[in-house]
Amino acid sequence: MPDDFIWIVTGDRPEAAPGEKGLLDKIGLRQVPVEPAKLEAEWNKMLRVVGKLLAQAEQQVGSESDLKLDEVTLAVEINSKGQVSLMGVGGVEASGKGAITLKFKRVESK
């Protein structure tokens, strides 16, 4: 059964459960099982939207100037329900939460 889930460490806190507290509990975190299919669907949806946004940004900038979009860095967070969210400007520092950093860089033509 544990192989059917991906474990997410999160700061989302439900009501405290009685019993012995482990290390994660002591530092305000907990592990939550998330179904891989749910996480994959959310991840793919986010990447599709980001891909469209990057293509639109490149078209808009390219049509109005000699500039080109060369690199984009995004911070992504996965919550305890498996939802994938883009973090806002300064989100990592402001919230103190962890994030996955995605860095998209233009591949140079040969």
The per-residue pLDDT for range 15-26, each reduced to its tens digit, is 555 565 677 677
Distance CA 41, CA 43 (A): 6
Q: What's residue 98's pLDDT?
A: 62
Vertex 22 angle, CA 28 and 42, to 5°: 55
Q: What share of the chain is helix, strand, coil (3-state, %, to 5)?
A: 35, 25, 40
By C-alpha distance, which of 99, 106, 109 is closest to 57? Answer: 106
Enter the pTM of the model: 0.68
Which of 12-16, 44-48, 65-69 has the highest mean predicted lDDT (pLDDT)?
44-48
- Torsion of Cα atoms, 27 then 10 then 75 then 91, to 10°: -60
